[in-house]
Structure 1
Amino acid sequence: MPEQEKQVTWAELFFDLVFVVAVTQVASLLHTDHQWPGVGRAVVVFIPIFWTWGGTTMHGNTHDLDRTFERLGVFAVGLCGLFMALALPHAYGSRGLLFGASYWAARLALCLLAQRHYRAVVFNPYTASAFITGPLLLVGGLVHGTARVALWTTAAGIDLLVPYLTRQGLAQISFEPHHLSERYRLFLLIALGESVAATGVTASHHPTTMARLIMVAVAFALACALWWVYFAFTADVIRDVLRTAQVTIDVIRTVLAYGHLAFIGAIIAISTAIGEIIPHPLAHLHTSTAALLFGGTALYLATFGYTRWKTFHNLATSRLATAAVSLALLPLATRIPALASLTLLAVVMIALNVLEALVVSRVRLRAEAQSLARPSAHSSPD
């Protein structure tokens, strides 16, 4: 009998609830300041949040989280994640120490939990975060202004480099592909769900006008289109690539770690922009808001181009072309009402999904025709 695939545990699903709050708080931070410096600061704090979630996911992939000790460890990391989320609105102000200390505590807990499995790999993402980036975030929380930004940016950069630096050692570790692909799908779903929830909550705080109701409907259509691009055409491919990869860590690093960091960051940007325009559906978009909306969509689509190239060495032509169209529409978006801009973007995304559905259908029909033709060819007399 084939070995049963590892399933996501209830403890992991409960743990994910913390990161619903964290994603919401990152969006709130970006909402406060979405000029370029503000976007940079939001990215810098989102990386340790995503790395904490990812480190817990990797630990759960190689350990049995149904054991009491492991569950308690994951819940301890979850509490640290909740403190990080609590600190986020004022992470660059009065709560910097709370953010830095919570991250370091989370990484120390993960290092302790994972040490038995990674004993042969002394330098790994857990030891790097526990002894390098964690202390950097803690020290950053003790200083202020530019010094904090510089230290936290350095820590985020090191965290991003660690998967490359530890590749050789991690190639020795055996990972379960089904569990990993499921976990990262769930995080992307969390981000999409947060965007829908934020749209509804924001709209509920304003008068119910026809323009605002249409705006909510269009925003939901855009969220559905973003979901469709990933879950209808990509999610199963990622799982299959993980299953067949010669070196699993290469796919984990490029597609899951880096790819999903960009996917989820793009969704947060789109969600923040929609939250900005819901109150004023007939006003023109500010340039920074349009950049979040159309630039976030372009980043989301372009990331598929990155992951496709890294896994198959070919271009995701339709998605890259649509990303270019999204960027090309940015100047127009600031000259028309916000509702029209959002509708235009939703139409572009829906058109992409229709085009890809037609391509997939045509490929399937061709494959079926070829499979039907083969038996008749074999049975014909020579």
Structure 2
Amino acid sequence: MAEGAGTGKRVTWVELYFDLIFVFAVGQSAHIMVADPDWSGFGRALGLFMPLWWAWIGFVILYNRHGDDRATQRLFMLAGTLPCAVAAVETHAAADGHATAFILALAGIRLVLAVGFLVIVGRSSWVALGYGLSTVAFAVSAVVPGPWRIALWVFALLQEAAHLLLRDDDRGRRRGGSTRTVRGPSAGTDGEVAGGPAGVTAGRPARERPARRSRAAAVRARFRRPVDPARRVDAAHLAERFGLMMIILLGEVVIAVGEPAAEAAEHDAHYWLGLLSGLVLASALWWLYFTAAAPINEAVLRASGGHPAMAYGLYAGGHLSSAFALITMAAGVSLALSGEEEPTGAAWLLTIGLAVYLEGTRGLTTWRSSRPGRVLHTVVIGGTVCLALLRPLISTLGVLLVATAWAITLAAYVSWRAPERLRQVNDGPRAFLHSSAARD
């Protein structure tokens, strides 16, 4: 494995405190889906979750690359909890169309990040500029109509990701990528053009542009250590930070089980089936992530030398779907165990969330090594979603029981294959990643 993937720093207490405030904010997304368990509620929850997620990523990278847990850094982290808490309180108002305070809180989070990267890092002016642009974009979006607001949000989030992690990859391509000469159609076989020397087209020099890289070359580029040590990502810290976040989000599923159970008037069969199945589902979800996905992600990132683009693919962007899937399942579990009339959307929240979580944690990618395996993978993911179609035949609690049994089955499969996959990663992470990309 490559050296220099990080010092193996540990997550600090102030980061854990910040994560608690953040989860309070994103946890409100589940309440939006509980209050409105249809596609509109799902869409609003996802739209509000996205800018919160990327705000959290900014603080993660700030501490991952540059955090020494000094007093100044702690103050910036604590300052970030204030607008984050305001965003949490205003989430429901934003979902109902009164989003001004929520949007200004998002702008405030970006402002803290912009100043933080300038003060703590100093030389990360491009990252600070990116968050400065996001601050302006979110602030302006508070006073413009809906379509323009969405466009500004998309612009802000895309350029945040580009400045924070992906810009390193682009610079590496410009420095080390291959080039090719583009000549005019009248060039001869010896490279000359009528009326000019070789490499000149119609009196103009030939243009040099990067050649299109193969998939193998793209994988090799992600295992090329960043030249600047300050740009490297600490693999151990990132794995621990995201693992802790997944634990906290799994806690949302446990809370979704416990709250309806605590309010139940009778401890009948419905009560015990709902309580036990919800807790077993949360355990199966934990197993799916921490048995294979977590150690594999850390091993691959460490082998890349802490490459920022690899960190983006595995964690910043790669965990987004899994994190929101846990919130979606928490909403579905809460509705299934509420004791009230169960809306049909509750079953879909359960099964869609489970399918997205399975895909996001990449626990089933070993099936993609062959054409039959890829078909089987598609059938399993699609079949997981379609478990909701059992709803007319059984109750939402019944769908929860079936989904829990299915999650246990897949967790057993992942547990069986995990040692082999980990051995493949440790023997040759670059080949492992290239084969996974080829399967996709």
TM-score range, shorter chain: 0.7 to 0.9
CA distance in 2, matches of 1:162, 1:17: 23
Query: In structure 2, do the counterparts of structure 1 residues 349 and 265 end up closer, same or farther at CA, with 3 Å as the change threshold?
Result: same
Q: How does 1:256-335 map to 2 (within 5 A)?
A: 256-280=315-339, 286-305=343-362, 321-335=379-393
Q: 1:94 to 1:327 in 2, by over 3 A?
A: closer
Q: Deviations over 1:220-274 (max 9, x none)?
A: 1111111100011221111111101156112221121112110010011110011
Question: Quick check: 2:141–2:152 contact (8 Å CA) kept in 1?
Answer: no
1:281-319 CA-partner distances (Å, limit 9, x unpaired)? 8x6x5432222110111111112349969xxx9689686
Corresponding residue for 2:103?
A: 100
Bigger RCO of structures 1 and 2 (CA < 8 A, at least 6 apart): 2
SS in structure 2 at match of 1:336 = coil
Letter matched to residue 293 of structure 1: L
Measured in 2, the distance between the counterparts of 1:267 and 1:364 equals 25
Structure 2, unaligned runs of 5 or more: 170-225, 425-440
Residue aligning to 2:174: none
Do residues 193 (structure 1) and 251 (structure 2) align? yes
Q: Is the 8 A contact 1:100 1:134 kept in 2?
A: no
Determine the C-alpha separation between the residues in 1 that align with 2:308 and 2:333. Answer: 36
- Decide whether aligned partners of structure 1 residues 175 and 362 sit closer, same or farther in structure 2, where only a CA change above 3 A counts: closer
Give the AA of the match of 2:62. Answer: H
1:27 equivalent to 2:30? Answer yes
Equivalent AA in structure 1 for residue 32 of structure 2: L
Q: Is the 8 A contact 2:94 2:102 kept in 1?
A: yes
In structure 2, how many angstroms separate the alpha carbons of the residues matched to 1:319 and 1:349? 15
* Cα distance between partner residues in 2 of 1:105 and 1:361: 45
- Judged with a 3 Å threshold, the aligned counterparts in structure 2 of structure 1 residues 65 and 207 are, in CA distance, closer, same or farther, namely farther
Q: Partner of 1:7: helix, strand, or coil? A: coil
TM-score by length of 2: 0.73
Query: Any conservation in 2 of the 1:11–1:65 contact (CA below 8 Å)?
Result: no
Q: Distance in 2 between matches of 1:106 and 1:307?
A: 36
Q: Deviations over 1:150-171 (max 9, x none)?
A: 5146414641464246623375
Whole-angstrom CA distance in 1 between matches of 2:119 and 2:282 = 41
Distance change >3 Å, CA 216–CA 306, structure 1 → 2: closer
Classify 1:22/1:40 alpha carbon distance in 2 versus 1 (closer, same or farther; 3 Å): same
Q: Conserved in 2, the CA contact under 8 Å of 1:104 and 1:130?
A: no
Aligned length: 355
2:234 matched residue in structure 1: 176
**Distance in 2 (alpha carbons) for counterparts of 1:69 and 1:308:** 43
Supply the distance in 2 between the matched residues of 1:186 and 1:196 (Cα, whole angstroms): 15
The AA in structure 1 aligned to 2:326 is: I
8 Å contact from structure 1 (residues 83, 99) kept in 2: yes
> Unaligned stretches of 5+ in structure 1?
367-382
Report Cα offsets for 1:295-348 as digits up to 9, x if no partner: 111111112349969xxx968968665323212322123431222211111111
- Helix, strand or coil: the match of 1:279? coil
Q: In structure 2, how many angstroms separate the alpha carbons of the residues matched to 1:154 and 1:168?
A: 20
1:88 aligns with 2:91: yes
Alignment counterpart, residue 338 of structure 1, candidates 378, 381, 396:
396
Residues 199 and 216, structure 1, Cα contact 8 Å, conserved in 2? yes
Measured in 1, the distance between the counterparts of 2:347 and 2:155 equals: 27
Aligned CA distance change for structure 1 residues 287 and 122 (closer, same or farther; 3 Å): same
Residue 242 (structure 1) aligns with: 301
Q: State whether structure 2 residue 313 is matched by structure 1 residue 254.
A: yes
Which has more helix, going by share of residues?
1
Instruction: Return the alpha-carbon distance in structure 1 between the equivalents of residues 136 and 422 of structure 2.
Output: 53
Aligned residue for 1:231? Answer: 290
Amino acid of the structure 2 residue aligned with 1:159: L
CA distance in 2, matches of 1:39, 1:266: 11
Instruction: Identify if the C-alpha distance between structure 1 residues 52 and 261 changes in structure 2 by more than 3 Å, giving closer, same or farther.
Output: same
CA distance in 2, matches of 1:307, 1:67: 42
Q: Which residue of the partner structure matches residue 175 of structure 2?
A: none
Report Cα offsets for 1:326-371 as digits up to 9, x if no partner.
12322123431222211111111101112232334688999xxxxx
Partner of 1:91, secondary structure, is helix
TM-score normalised over the length of structure 1: 0.83
| Structure 2 counterpart of 1:265, one-letter code | F
